[in-house]
């Protein structure tokens, strides 16, 4: 498979310094995640709630699409996953802001017609921590090669 993603966060942070790769990205997702200040270790526990449906470190779909390179990844683009039209047409990009909204809200209220059936995380810190973990383990999307 083509190396579409930059993983994990530490490596991505180092690579972003290199102009050839950094130039492809308008948004500094690494800085966004750092500014959020979540605790990835605690986020790993929170992510247990997602694991029945999502794989984070492997490009393998379950009930939900895999989440390799999820930070900065446009919504609905995993070719071999059967998304809802709502997700495919959402025009969202999964950054700190959109993920925070998505994960702290009942998914079917946030996006009418989505196939994700999740009640939402009640605690603000759980949301921050899980995003930190997703960045560390899933990594940053590399828009430059797509
Ligand atoms: C019951 C299964 C289930 C659970 C639990 C679940 N998801 Fe999902 N998720 C899905 C499905 C199905 C989709 C595809 C939605 C669609 O196509 O409308 C999805 C989509 C997503 C997307 C968009 C992916 C993309 O490629 O655009 C993100 C981000 C996401 N989920 C994050 C999470 C996180 C983080 C958790 C845990 C806090 C979680 N999900 C829990 C089933 C689940």
pLDDT exceeds 70 at position 2? no
132 CB near ligand 1 (under 6 Å): no
C-beta 94 within 6 A of ligand 1: yes
Predicted confidence at residue 60, as pLDDT, reads: 96
- Cα-based angle 54, 70, 16 (whole degrees, multiple of 5): 150
Query: pLDDT per residue over 41-90, tens digit each?
Result: 999 999 999 999 999 999 999 999 999 999 999 999 999 999 999 999 99
Closest among 69, 74, 107 to 89, alpha carbons compared = 74
Looking at the structure of the chain, the number of domains it has is: 1
Question: Tens of pLDDT along 96-136?
Answer: 999 999 999 999 999 999 999 999 999 999 999 999 999 99
Give the predicted TM-score (pTM) of the model: 0.86
Question: Domain of 114: which CATH number?
Answer: 1.10.760.10
Query: Which domain covers residue 113, as residue numbers?
Result: 5-145
Q: Pick from 110, 116, 117 the residue to mutate for probing ligand 1's pocket: most ligand atoms within 8 Å of its CB.
A: 116
């Amino acid at each position: 498979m083509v190396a579409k993603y930059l993983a994990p966060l530490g490596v991505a942070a180092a690579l972003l310094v290199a102009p050839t790769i950094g130039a492809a990205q308008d948004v500094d997702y690494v800085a966004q995640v750092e500014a959020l200040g979540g605790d990835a270790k605690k986020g790993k526990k929170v992510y247990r709630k997602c694991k029945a449906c999502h794989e984070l470190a492997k490009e393998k779909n379950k009930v939900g699409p895999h989440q390799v390179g999820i930070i900065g990844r446009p919504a609905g683009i995993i070719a071999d996953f059967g998304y809802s039209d709502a997700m495919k047409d959402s025009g969202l990009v999964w950054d700190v802001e959109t993920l925070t909204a998505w994960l702290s809200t009942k998914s079917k209220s946030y996006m009418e017609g989505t196939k994700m059936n999740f009640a939402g995380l009640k605690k603000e810190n759980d949301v921050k921590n899980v995003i930190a973990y997703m960045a560390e383990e899933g990594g940053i999307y590399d828009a430059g090669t797509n």
